[in-house]
Homo-oligomer: A and B are copies of this chain.
Amino acid sequence: MEPIRLGMVGGGQGAFIGGVHRIAARLDGAFSLVAGALSSDPVRAQASATELGIARSYADFRQMAQREARRADGIEAVAIVTPNHMHAGPAIEFLKRGIHVICDKPLTATMAEAKKLAKAAESANALFILTHNYTGYPLIRQARAMVARGDLGAIRLVQVEYVQDWLTQEVRHKQAEWRTDPARSGLGGALGDIGTHAYNLAAFVAGVEPEQLAADTSSFVPGRALDDNAHVMLRYAGGAKGMLWASQVAPGHENGLRLRIYGDKGGLDWGQENPNQLWFTPFGEPKRLLTRNAAGAGPEAQRVSRIPGGHPEGYLEAFATIYTEAARAIWAHQAGLPAPEGVIYPTLADGLKGMRFVEACVQSARRNSGWVTL
């Protein structure tokens, strides 16, 4: 297949996630980045494009959408890597022109925007892919398949945490600023930035969403407008229970996303910082250490692995897997076919669930941790 022509909104000089998206798009050769509106500041946008060798630079996303849509060799997909409040606008603009959208999470800053975007996506002739990148890890795919086929028995417990320490004290750099600003981030601080990842990952692997949650949120750093820590209890249909902890103020944790799931026949344990290992304990037997693309890895993990076990794949590869899954779906869409069997990527529906998760946590916290139905 030919590489898909890609544009990018956001991701100019000084950004973090834009660079990640560019590597992810390039890693498997499935995309070719040809256009960008890399910054709301036109000078910086142009400078960034030049630095990155991007052929066509635009002063803003609307201009890019309009002009690219008219070109025969215009972009087929766009990556939106702006702060949360700048997701919905560009996404709608490209979707309505039939340009596929690959959008950073959380979906939007507000539920109102999210609903508008959902409506636009429904009527568009284009795909919407949300980069819940942790679902791209091979052993997460494996864990999901194991749960689905009953290796753990009936699921009883879902314990997930996403813990960082970089906001332990007041920080003023660009990455920190917008993430702690309600105008740009929305209702959630840690909840939106990393809690949504934890929530999504747990549901992705468990194969089920909770029905209710009760949350206690905090803003530990004086003057911080959004939560920097959230404790959440979860209840599932059928009686399963869970806990979710999201924190950006826990010294000693860099990017500690960890998921543990237990059923009446076994348990799983996976951590993002060492993603090539998955612990599996069938009840009553010794723990087994499953490794990516090696002994014990099933076809779901192998399908999205690039190299043999023992050669660690990491964050960028998992992110690239989301891009490459998106490419497979886009190529199929262009050919008028459904996405090939086995292809999985996070959708707008996942984004809406994440938005509802944040909203429900905030509601519960305001009601002194009363249970809120999702």
A55 within 8 A of B: no
List, in ascending order, chain B residues with CB within 8 A of A347's CB: none
**Interface contact B214-A216, CB-CB below 8 Å:** yes
**Interface contact B220-A239, CB-CB below 8 Å:** yes
**Interface contact A288-B286, CB-CB below 8 Å:** yes
Interface 1/0 per residue, A256-283 and B, CB below 8 Å: 1000101111111100111110011111
A85 within 8 A of B: no
Among B22, B313, B370, the residue within 8 A (CB) of A314 is B313
Compute how far the CA of A168 lies from the CA of B152 in the bound complex, rounded to whole angstroms.
Answer: 12
A182 within 8 A of B: no
Residue of B nearest to A157 (CB): B250
**Interface contact B371-A371, CB-CB below 8 Å:** no
Compute how far the CA of A159 lies from the CA of B258 in the bound complex, rounded to whole angstroms.
Answer: 14
Nearest CB of B to A244, in Å: 10
Nearest CB of B to A304, in Å: 14
B-facing residues in A348-374 (Cβ within 8 Å): 368-371
**Interface contact A251-B288, CB-CB below 8 Å:** no
List, in ascending order, chain B residues with CB within 8 A of A249's CB: 156-157, 262, 264
A332 within 8 A of B: no
Compute how far the CA of A289 lies from the CA of B252 in the bound complex, rounded to whole angstroms.
Answer: 11
List, in ascending order, chain B residues with CB within 8 A of A250's CB: 157, 260, 262, 267
**Interface contact B53-A255, CB-CB below 8 Å:** no
**Interface contact A306-B313, CB-CB below 8 Å:** no
Do A245 and B29 form a contact, CB below 8 Å, given A251-B282, A262-B250?
no
Compute how far the CA of A271 lies from the CA of B197 in the bound complex, rounded to whole angstroms.
Answer: 26
List, in ascending order, chain B residues with CB within 8 A of A157's CB: 229, 247, 249-250
List, in ascending order, chain B residues with CB within 8 A of A247's CB: 157, 262
A and B contact pairs by CB, cutoff 8 A, 28 listed? A16-B308, A23-B28, A23-B306, A27-B316, A156-B229, A157-B247, A159-B245, A216-B233, A229-B241, A231-B233, A233-B369, A243-B243, A250-B260, A251-B263, A251-B265, A251-B267, A251-B284, A252-B262, A253-B310, A256-B310, A272-B312, A307-B315, A311-B314, A312-B314, A313-B314, A316-B316, A368-B370, A368-B371
